[in-house]
C-alpha cells in the first residue's frame, strides 16, 4: 500500500484496522510521561493555591497538549519515520492510521487542551500551552529539524515549557523560579538527544536529518555533550539559589549533576557506543530524579 507521501508499507499492517492503542501511540506516551511529570512538579512546587480537581485538569491539559503536538509531529515526519528503524513501526508509516486522520486528531486535541486549560485554570497557562504546542510543531518540527544541527538546541524549548505551564497554572504568572525550571530542561535536552544520536548516526543520516554527529562528526558532538553537561552542575542548583528548594534538593542535585558530568566525560574520552547508551539512559533518570527531588524537598521542608 502506498501512503500519500509515497511510502510503501507492508500489506498485512496496512489492512489492519486502527485500535484505540494505535491512536494512543500517536501521542508519544513515553515522551508524554516525562512531560506530565515535570509539569506536575512545576505545579506542585509553585507558591499557588489551586483546587486539587483543577490541578488534575491542568496536568491532563499538559498531557493532552504534549501528546497532540507529538501526534502532529508524527503526521509531518511520516516520510522520515518510515526510513528510521526506531520509528518505522509507528501507526502512520505502517499505514494503520491515515495521515489526514492523525492530523485531525492532533489538531482537535491541541485546541481542546488549550481551551480547557483557559476555561478551567487560567489563560496564562493556556497561552503557554499554546506556545509550547506551536513551538514544537512550527519551530522545531517544520522549521528547524531538517535544516540545522542546532535543531534540538532551540527546539528543546518546547519540551522545557511543561514545568513553567504547571507553575503558571498554580500562580497565574511566569516568575524567575519557573524560568529556572525551564532552563534546566532546556540545557538538559542537547546532551540527552546527542547521546542518542551518537549511536543512531546512521539512522539520522539515512533519513536526511542534520543531527550534530551527522553534520559535525562524533568528536565535536562529544565535546558539546561535555560542555552542556558541565552547565547542568550550576544550573540545577538554581531552584535552591532562588529559594524554591532547600538543602535536601541542593545536595541531591549536586550528586546527580556530578554523575551526569562524569557520564559525559566518559562519552568524551572512551568514544564508545556503550558510554553513549549509558549517558542517554542516565539522562532520562537524571531529569526524573532531579524533579522528584524538588517534589520531595517541597513535601518535606526542613529535613536537612
Partner 1 sequence: MLCPAWSEMVLTEQEKRSRRRRNAALGLALGAFIVLLYIVSIVKMGG
Q: What is the DSSP string of 163-179?
A: HHHHHHHHHSS--HHHH
> Near partner 1 by CB under 8 A, which window of 74-82, 113-121, 153-161, 292-300?
113-121
- What CA–CA distance (Å, rounded) separates 33 from 6? 32
Strand, helix or coil for residue 82? coil
Q: Residue 112, interface with partner 1 (CB under 8 A)?
A: yes
Q: Residue 4, interface with partner 1 (CB under 8 A)?
A: no
Q: 295: closest CA among 239, 231, 229? A: 239
Residue 244: exposed, middle, or buried by beta-carbon count in 10 A (0-12, 13-18, 19+)?
buried
Closest distance between partner 1 and the C-beta of residue 61, in Å? 10
101's grid cell: 486522520
Q: What is the DSSP string of 126-163?
A: HHHHHHHHHIIIIIIIIIITTT-TTHHHHHHHHHHHHH
Closest distance between partner 1 and the C-beta of residue 290, in Å? 31
Of positions 116, 180, 211, 226, contacts partner 1 by CB under 8 A: 116
Of positions 4, 17, 21, 302, contacts partner 1 by CB under 8 A: 17
Nearer to partner 1, 104 or 273 (CB): 104
Closest distance between partner 1 and the C-beta of residue 51, in Å? 5
Closest distance between partner 1 and the C-beta of residue 120, in Å? 4
Instruction: For residue 143, give every residue at least 6 positions away whose Cβ sits within 8 Å of its Cβ, in sequence order, or none.
Output: none
Closest distance between partner 1 and the C-beta of residue 199, in Å? 39
What count of other Cβ atoms lies within 10 Å of the Cβ of residue 300? 11
The β-bridge partners of 161 are: none
The β-bridge partners of 2 are: 8
Closest distance between partner 1 and the C-beta of residue 103, in Å? 16
Rule CB under 8 A: which of 36-75 touch partner 1?
A: 51, 53-54, 57
Q: What is the DSSP string of 233-266?
A: HHHTTHHHHTTSS-HHHHHHHHHHHHHHHHHHHH
Closest distance between partner 1 and the C-beta of residue 119, in Å? 7
Q: Residue 119, interface with partner 1 (CB under 8 A)?
A: yes
Nearer to partner 1, 55 or 157 (CB): 55
Nearer to partner 1, 25 or 180 (CB): 25
Rule CB under 8 A: which of 123-162 touch partner 1?
A: none
Q: Residue 21, interface with partner 1 (CB under 8 A)?
A: no
Q: Residue 20, interface with partner 1 (CB under 8 A)?
A: yes
- How many residues make contact with partner 1 (CB under 8 A)? 10
Question: Interface residues with partner 1 (CB under 8 A)?
Answer: 17, 20, 51, 53-54, 57, 112, 116, 119-120
Amino acid at each position: 500500500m502506498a501512503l500519500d507521501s509515497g511510502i510503501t508499507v507492508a500489506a498485512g499492517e496496512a489492512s489492519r484496522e486502527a485500535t484505540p492503542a494505535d491512536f494512543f501511540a500517536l501521542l508519544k506516551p513515553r515522551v508524554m510521561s516525562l512531560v506530565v511529570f515535570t509539569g506536575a512538579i512545576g505545579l506542585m512546587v509553585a507558591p499557588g493555591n489551586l483546587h486539587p480537581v483543577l490541578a488534575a485538569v491542568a496536568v491532563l491539559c499538559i498531557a493532552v497538549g504534549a501528546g497532540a503536538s507529538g501526534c502532529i509531529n508524527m503526521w509531518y515526519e511520516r516520510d522520515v519515520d518510515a526510513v528510521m528503524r526506531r520509528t518505522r513501526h509507528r501507526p502512520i508509516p505502517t499505514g494503520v492510521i491515515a495521515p489526514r486522520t492523525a492530523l485531525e486528531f492532533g489538531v482537535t486535541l491541541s485546541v481542546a487542551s488549550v481551551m480547557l486549560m483557559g476555561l478551567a485554570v487560567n489563560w496564562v497557562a493556556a497561552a503557554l500551552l499554546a506556545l509550547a504546542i506551536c513551538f514544537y510543531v512550527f519551530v522545531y518540527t517544520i522549521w528547524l529539524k531538517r535544516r540545522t544541527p542546532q535543531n534540538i538546541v532551540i527546539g528543546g524549548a518546547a519540551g522545557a515549557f511543561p514545568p513553567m505551564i504547571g507553575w503558571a497554572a498554580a500562580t497565574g504568572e511566569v516568575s524567575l523560579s519557573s524560568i529556572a525550571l525551564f532552563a534546566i530542561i532546556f540545557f538538559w535536552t542537547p546532551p540527552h538527544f546527542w547521546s542518542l544520536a551518537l549511536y543512531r548516526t546512521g539512522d539520522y543520516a539515512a533519513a536526511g536529518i542534520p543531527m550534530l554527529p551527522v553534520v559535525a562528526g562524533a568528536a565535536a558532538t562529544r565535546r558539546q555533550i561535555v560542555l552542556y553537561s558541565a552547565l547542568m552542575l550550576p544550573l540545577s542548583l538554581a531552584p535552591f539559589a532562588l529559594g524554591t528548594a532547600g538543602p535536601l534538593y541542593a545536595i541531591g542535585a549536586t550528586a546527580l549533576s556530578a554523575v551526569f558530568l562524569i557520564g559525559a566525560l566518559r562519552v568524551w574520552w572512551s568514544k564508545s557506543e556503550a558510554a553513549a547508551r549509558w549517558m542517554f539512559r542516565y539522562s532520562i533518570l537524571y531529569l526524573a530524579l532531579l524533579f522528584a527531588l524538588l517534589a520531595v524537598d517541597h513535601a518535606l521542608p526542613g529535613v536537612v
